[in-house]
Amino acid sequence: MKELLRSTDPTIIAFASALLEGEDIDCFQMDVNMSVLEGGIGIFPRRLMVRAEDYDDAVVVMRDNEIPLGR
């Protein structure tokens, strides 16, 4: 798996996940449970992972929808 996106904003992660699922690209959110450790203040970013073979297609989806990848 490759990291596609890293953000402290859960709405961006949710939107990106929905877009990827709409394109039949499987994704997995990592670090979701870190909010328990941080107390819900949003300092630890969540990561959105995709399979290596889907990475290039996922980047195109993110760019088409103007979601910054931080690169």
Average pLDDT over residues 48-58: 97
User: Taking the mean position of all CA atoms in its chain, how far away is CA 7?
Assistant: 7
Quick one: pLDDT at residue 40? 62
Direct distance between the N- and C-terminal alpha carbons of the chain, in angstroms, rounded to an integer: 18
Which pTM was predicted? Answer: 0.83
What is the model's pLDDT at position 57? 97
Does 24 or 44 have the greater pLDDT score? Answer: 24
Read off the pLDDT of each residue in 58-71 and give the average, rounded to a whole number.
90
Task: Give which of 56, 10, 52 is closest to 34, Cα–Cα.
Answer: 10
Residues 7-39: tens digit of each pLDDT: 988 899 999 999 999 999 999 999 887 766 666
